[in-house]
Amino acid sequence: MRSLILALLLSNSLWAHKINLFITHDKNELQLFSYFASGAPCKECKVIIKHNDETLLEGNLDKEGKFSYVSVYDKLMIIIDGSSGHLVQKEVTLTQIPEKSLEKLVEEEEEGNIFKIFLSLGLIGLFFYGVKRFKSRAK
């Protein structure tokens, strides 16, 4: 049964798409939230926090794809490994991270996605319009 669940998890991660990583900073506490482009949280994905190539922490995100960390350093490298080649890393300076809630950051990302969907639909229309023009000229 366990091997079946592991196989299912692996098969999901094969096409699980891009990993998003959100980072906020609240009262010296670094808050991370990671999820796949499909909207599924990066459940218990590996998290590595480094400072100047020195590994400060190796752990796992929780079941909601979240993680909190209190840092004594200002500059950090954060790596989230979702396995099967899905990896995201971000270099951050804590004092420069805007103090926004995770909810606000996710909301902004979703708004960006809606814009991208409409942009894509426009580009699809534009491409086929170009094909139509090309085909009618070739006649």
Partner 1 sequence: MHIADGVLTLEATLIVSIVSAGILYVGMKRLKEEHIAIAAVCSALFFVASFIHIPFGVTQIHLMLLGVIGLLVGLSGFVSIAIALILQALLMGYGGIASIGVNLFIMGVPIVLVHWLYKTALFQRLNDKVQFFLVGFIGTFFATLFLTVILYFSKAEYETAAMTILGVNSITMIIEGIVSMFLLLFIKKTYPKLLRRNLHA
Query: Shortest distance, CB of residue 74 to partner 1, whole angstroms?
Result: 29
Query: Shortest distance, CB of residue 62 to partner 1, whole angstroms?
Result: 16
Angstrom distance (rounded) from CA 15 to CA 24: 28
Structure tokens at 107: 């909301």
Backbone angles phi, psi at 42, to 5 degrees: -80, 75
Query: Shortest distance, CB of residue 136 to partner 1, whole angstroms?
Result: 6
Q: Which residues contact 124 (CB under 8 A, 6 or more apart)?
A: none
Residue 38 interacts with partner 1 (CB under 8 A): yes or no? yes
Which C-beta is closer to partner 1: that of 43 or that of 66?
A: 43
Residue 89 interacts with partner 1 (CB under 8 A): yes or no? no
Task: With CB under 8 A as the rule, give the number of residues binding partner 1.
Answer: 38
Q: CA neighbours within 13 Å on the CB side: how many for 59?
A: 14
Distance of CA 100 to the CA centre of its chain: 17
Query: Shortest distance, CB of residue 51 to partner 1, whole angstroms?
Result: 27
Residue 123 interacts with partner 1 (CB under 8 A): yes or no? yes
Mapped onto helix, strand or coil, the DSSP state of residue 116 is: helix
Instruction: Give the burial class of 12: count Cβ atoms within 10 A of its Cβ; 0-12 exposed, 13-18 middle, 19 or more buried.
Output: middle
Q: Which listed range, 26-34, 56-64, 96-104, 118-126, lies at the site for partner 1 (CB under 8 A)?
A: 118-126
Binding residues for partner 1, per CB under 8 A?
3-5, 7-12, 14-18, 20, 37-40, 84-86, 113, 116-117, 119-121, 123-125, 127-128, 131-132, 135-136, 139
